Structure 1
Amino acid sequence: MKVIIASSSKCGTKTLRKCFEILGYSVADFDHHAYNHYNEWKNIFEYVSRREQLHEMYRDIDVVTGAPAFYYWEEIAEAFPNAKVILTTRKDEITWYRSLSREIPKCHNSWTVAFCYLLTPTGIRLRHHFDRLVRVVHGIKEWGLFSKYDWSNQEVLIKRYREHNTGVLSRCRKERLLIFHFCEGWERLCAFLGEEIPDEPFPHVNERGQLAMSMWVLPVYVRMMREAFVVMAIIAILIALVLQLH
């Protein structure tokens, strides 16, 4: 483990992920946490964080980012004492809240996702993981059969966001922490990492809410959709058989 991205969701974490991929780092993001370490995160959510467990989970990964890893940045930092920490924020709390409450529901509160979350093996795992994640990280609960989430509680969400950022700034050693602004580009990031500046433009990912579209190209969501097609085919066959019997 070389870098822990302690930034909350909707704070440019997808851009940072792309930066590290360009630099040749292996990156574990939300999809990796949810699928590859489902049982481990279940234990961490329901009991206590274990430094040894986190070390075993991410010892072969260069960078962790995304939920729920950002929320457990301190425990991961203890497991990897030589890892550096990066924090990015939005220009103000209201801007962050509006982005979160607008974009995250697009990813999860749709009939397509609800069908997958209810009837596919991968979708069921993702739904259970996300249910625990939003409860622990954001302080909100799911409601209804299809795990809809209420993102309207601005006060609670902003309080969690503020406390998280304050905690990183106050508890992370200054020589270990980079407070990064995207306008600083490759120069500041590579200087902190001790890397050569790549011969590529600095990326900008998920601008103006492309998250809901981009998630469907992630391997775990591709797998979920393939399973959904299989489930729909089985349902169609069963319906055809029932109709023939009548």
Structure 2
Amino acid sequence: MTESIVAPVIQVKDAGIRFKRNRRSRRSFKDLFAGRGRRARPDEFWALRDVSFDVQPGEAIGVVGRNGQGKSTLLKLVAEVVYPDEGSVGVHEGVAPLIEITGGFVDDLSVRDNVYLTAGLHGMKRAEIDARFDEIIEFSEIGDFLDTPYKHLSSGMKVRIAFAVISRLEEPIILVDEVLAVGDKAFREKCYRRIEELLAGGRTLFFVSHSEKDLRRFCTRGLYLDKGALVMDAPIADVLDRYNAEYGVTK
């Protein structure tokens, strides 16, 4: 009997993305005094380069690396917030991204209106949002602020409502960046239990964190990024062991 082949939900092939930054050329004190200060000049750098991997349905991927090594950029590529300058990124299922707490929310709209707007932007119909509205608000624990402008919420409250909305989407792929670190410990644990429920239901997870405990809790596979390159793709325990051996900074 021939076994059926399961197609990857994410395919990244030789992907690279570059950004521009400004460097300032050195000037003498005389130049500064004469008003000829250091001039900005554009300089390109590769945030990611030659990155390749596939992700199967239901995998839980932990993305490991120091700050500034391309982890969040990789998540944005998968979320199709940015696009590669070389290579390709194929995402074959819908994505529920929790990457930036302000993403998709409008400062001057109320919390209530933002729930409908953000869920709608992710493809939920009005009737679906109506049906899930109470459970979204109950999960967020900010029911007293439904008619408060979003801009007046604290960072922790923004995380609460963002996670409550995104975690109720039916998208098969979940992207989670470091944003949950902003929330209080009790609510963070509540979010983590919800992630476990989603994983048990067959969702695919991309998880960026500096917490070794959290990475081991959720993830079975690790991608180790260093200087924009994928230097290791292996079981999460092996990836963390190498990262700890090289830098000793994962907590």
With the length of structure 2 as denominator, give the TM-score of the two structures.
0.26
Q: Which has the higher helix share?
A: 1
Q: Which has the higher strand share?
A: 2
Structure number with bigger Rg? 2
With the length of structure 1 as denominator, give the TM-score of the two structures.
0.26
